[in-house]
């Protein structure tokens, strides 16, 4: 089974849906799903809900109701095959009598790892893997990194002038980017589970490190302050909600993944801390 232009378009729709869960579903992946009937009309869509449940497939199937027989499902990650808080999505697709499933990338979680696709094929459902794979892997880089490497992924957000400076000649903080870039910076915060900064930024700027886009404050990431030595955060804007660590970058990223349900971390800091992560 080879995807055609329509299949690629439907997968693109599913990928766009998957973006809606970023920042609110960890440690789960953020998945999108589109279901069409036998005439290729979209009858159900879904994405991973806040907290990871319900899954994208569950929501899409619920919207599709009784029209799924002979239809097609486009999913950005291999459907789960294990019994957890809910029954496996692979079985839900089988029960709905879906005829074809296109999924973008394998789920590396050892509880799935090919078992979802195998279950579908055993039920005589046509299965294709790989449509939209590159974009799906980019969207879920945090989940994939946590499962495969045991640490959170890291995105470095850095603003500098044309001549490579991050502050004024006097060492003062100043706006370098414009309004569009600053709004995108807040979107990045919303899409990440944690945000890391250092003592230099904390002392110079006393940042809030929250998301200030309208209606998205609840997606503000977990602040993490990294310093060489213990410091008092009580007089900062982060005192009530920040983690403080004197550990190495590698240890911090592993701790965030293992103990704080973090898939993806955003690094907003000065050049010294940024270099330590490279």
Q: What is the pLDDT of residues 193-222, one digit of tens each?
A: 999 999 888 988 899 999 999 999 999 999
Domains of the chain: 5-146 (3.40.140.10), 150-276 (3.40.430.10)
Q: Is the sign of the CA dihedral 176, 182, 188, 190 positive or negative? A: positive
pTM for the whole structure: 0.91
Q: Which of 57, 78, 135, 268 is catalytic?
A: 57
Please indicate whether residue 57 is annotated as part of the active site. Answer: yes
CA–CA dist 176, 71 (Å, integer): 51
CA–CA dist 152, 263 (Å, integer): 5
**Is residue 61 within 8 Å of 44, Cβ to Cβ?**
yes
Instruction: Please give the pLDDT value at position 235.
Output: 87
Q: What is the mean pLDDT of the chain?
A: 92
Mean pLDDT per 10-residue section of the chain, whose length is 278 residues = 95 98 97 97 97 94 94 97 82 97 96 93 97 98 98 91 59 69 95 96 91 96 94 86 93 98 96 91
Q: How many residues does the chain have?
A: 278
CA–CA dist 248, 276 (Å, integer): 9
Instruction: Compute CA distances 268 → 50, 154, 261, whole Å.
Output: 25, 11, 20
Instruction: Please give the pLDDT value at position 178.
Output: 78
CA–CA dist 34, 74 (Å, integer): 5
CA–CA dist 56, 54 (Å, integer): 7
Q: What are the pLDDT digits (tens) for 144-182?
A: 999 999 999 999 998 776 665 555 555 566 666 778 989
Residues 6 or more apart in contact with residue 102 via CB below 8 angstroms: 3, 7, 10, 11, 72, 73, 74, 75, 127, 128, 131
């Amino acid at each position: 089974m080879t995807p055609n232009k329509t299949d690629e378009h439907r997968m693109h729709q599913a990928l766009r849906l998957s973006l809606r869960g970023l920042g609110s579903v960890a440690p789960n992946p953020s998945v999108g799903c589109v279901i069409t009937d036998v005439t290729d009309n979209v009858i159900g869509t879904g994405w991973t809900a806040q907290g990871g449940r319900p899954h994208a497939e569950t929501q899409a199937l619920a919207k599709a109701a009784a029209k799924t027989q002979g239809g097609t499902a486009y999913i950005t990650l291999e459907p789960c095959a294990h019994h957890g808080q809910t029954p496996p999505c692979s079985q839900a697709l089988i029960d709905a009598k879906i005829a074809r499933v296109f999924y973008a990338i394998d789920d590396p979680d050892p509880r799935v790892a090919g078992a979802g696709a195998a279950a579908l094929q055993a039920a005589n459902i046509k299965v294709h893997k790989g449509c939209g794979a590159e974009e799906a892997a980019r969207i879920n880089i945090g989940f994939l990194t946590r499962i495969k490497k045991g640490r959170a992924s890291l995105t470095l957000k850095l603003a500098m002038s044309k001549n490579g400076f991050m502050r004024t000649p006097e060492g003062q903080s100043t706006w370098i980017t414009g309004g569009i870039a600053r709004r995108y910076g807040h979107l990045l915060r919303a899409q990440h589970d944690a945000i890391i900064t250092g003592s230099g930024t904390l002392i110079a700027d006393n940042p809030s490190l929250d998301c200030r886009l309208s209606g998205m404050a609840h997606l503000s990431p977990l602040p993490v302050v990294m310093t060489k030595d213990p410091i008092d955060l009580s007089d900062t804007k982060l005192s009530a909600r920040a983690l403080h660590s004197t550990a190495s970058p590698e240890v911090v990223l592993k701790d965030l993944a293992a103990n704080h349900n973090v898939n993806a971390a955003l690094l907003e800091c000065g050049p010294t801390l940024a270099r330590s992560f490279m």
